[in-house]
């Protein structure tokens, strides 16, 4: 099961309110996870974030498609936790974004909270 074949599974997925899934990219090569959550910088407003994961060859990967999707969700939650977790006015595990590095790596770097 790769790419477009994953669409059948994705159509049946359910998670938290505000979270949705689709298969995208060339030939359905990406799992797209959309999360509408409070904005970590401005919690009074919501923000929709798109997380993208390359669909592996499950025969080589060793995980079932359901387990792989669940692992992707855990990576999304790790990223979100790093954005929201605070000690006083610091965010000690603020994750990478865009061109900074792997957005799903647990990093120890501090960012101040925003006004």
31-43 pLDDT, tens digit each: 999 999 999 888 8
Token pair recorded at residue 76: 């999304």
The pTM for the full model equals: 0.87
Assess whether pLDDT exceeds 90 at residue 54.
yes
Residue 31: CB atoms within 10 Å: 27
Nearest 10 degrees: Cα torsion 103, 15, 69, 96: 0
Query: Based on the number of CB atoms within 10 Å of its own CB, is 82 exposed (0-12), middle (13-18) or buried (19 or more)?
Result: buried
Token pair recorded at residue 51: 């997380």
Query: Region 46-57: what's the mean pLDDT?
Result: 93
Query: Region 84-92: what's the mean pLDDT?
Result: 91
- Rg for the chain, CA atoms, rounded: 16
Q: Alpha-carbon distance 50 to 103, whole Å? A: 12
């Amino acid at each position: 099961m790769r790419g477009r074949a994953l669409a059948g599974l994705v159509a049946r997925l359910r998670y938290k309110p505000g979270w949705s899934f689709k298969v995208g990219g060339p030939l359905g090569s990406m799992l797209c996870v959309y999360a509408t959550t409070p904005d970590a910088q401005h919690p009074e407003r919501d923000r929709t974030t798109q997380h993208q994961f390359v669909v592996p060859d499950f025969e080589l990967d060793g995980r079932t498609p359901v387990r792989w999707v669940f692992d992707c969700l855990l990576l999304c939650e790790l990223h979100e936790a790093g954005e929201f977790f605070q000690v006083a006015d610091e965010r000690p595990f603020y994750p990478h974004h865009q061109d900074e590095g792997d957005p799903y790596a647990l990093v120890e770097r501090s960012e101040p909270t925003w006004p």
